[in-house]
Amino acid sequence: MSDSADLERRYRRLLACYPRAFRHEHEQEMLAVLMTGADEGQERPGLGEAADLFRSAIWMRLRPVVRRSQPTVFWAVRLMYFCAVFKLLGVPILPATRGSGAYPLDVGIGWGVFALLAWTNSRGHHWARVLFAVWVAFHTAALFYDVAHVSASSAPAWTLIASVVFWLVEFAAVVLILSKQSGAYFRHESAQM
């Protein structure tokens, strides 16, 4: 097999990471550009080139797909991702005590749930909209319980502030996702599936 055929096969393997609809429309063009930019006698894609193709493919699969023409869903999804980042950073929220940090399991589950709910809501899944509302209702009850039962001496003040800010962001996202304007987006996306 020639070097060119090996390189093309390897590029096609990398391009297979992209979503099918995107590949159907752009694969030949991308392959032509990659092959044209390859050095003479090159047998395999460079490490940086392969990493960039893979990163782009992953981002294309995971990115939110909400258009700015749907501002309520667009901003709700952004707020959900903000909550995911907040959890990923491991900022302790109630019921934290002095010197305690976030538990890795709590960070992993919290981050994963917010990221998954943001991703599924951006794709118009009605069940994700309902699940997010239930998730926020659970967090609301937990926050009120923690505020009532955590004394000012056992938890630092910034933990309470962080908990309230986190809850406000969650609440804003759930209000946006359950709004009437968002309902039209979820009905439209469900009809297309």
Domain locations in the chain? 3-62, 71-192
| Long-range contacts, 5-8 (Cβ 8 Å, 24+) | 6/43, 6/44, 7/35, 7/38, 7/42, 7/43, 7/44, 7/45, 8/35
Query: Tell me: the pLDDT tens digits for 116-165?
Result: 888 888 888 889 999 999 999 988 888 888 777 765 556 677 777 888 88
pLDDT at residue 75 is higher than 50: yes
Could you tell me which of 171, 193, 175, 174 has the C-alpha nearest to residue 65?
193
pLDDT band at 98 (very low <50, low <70, confident <90, very high): very low
Span 93-122, average pLDDT: 67
pLDDT at residue 41 is higher than 90: no
Per-chain mean pLDDT for the chain: 80
Could you tell me which of 154, 153, 176, 173 has the C-alpha nearest to residue 165?
173
* Residues in the chain, overall count: 193
Q: Is 93 exposed, middle or buried (0-12, 13-18, 19+ CB in 10 A)?
A: buried
Q: Which residue has the tokens 């023409």?
A: 69
Which has more confidence, 122 or 105? 122
Residue 86 DSSP symbol: H
C-beta separation of 58 from 16 below 8 A: no
Report the amino acid identity of residue 187.
R
C-beta separation of 97 from 154 below 8 A: yes
CA distance 86 to 92: 9
Span 104-122, average pLDDT: 77
Query: Tell me: the pLDDT tens digits for 168-179?
Result: 999 999 999 999
Q: Which residue has the tokens 């991702």?
A: 81
CA distance 48 to 45: 8
What lies within 8 Å, CB to CB, of 186 at 6+ separation is 73, 124, 125, 126, 129
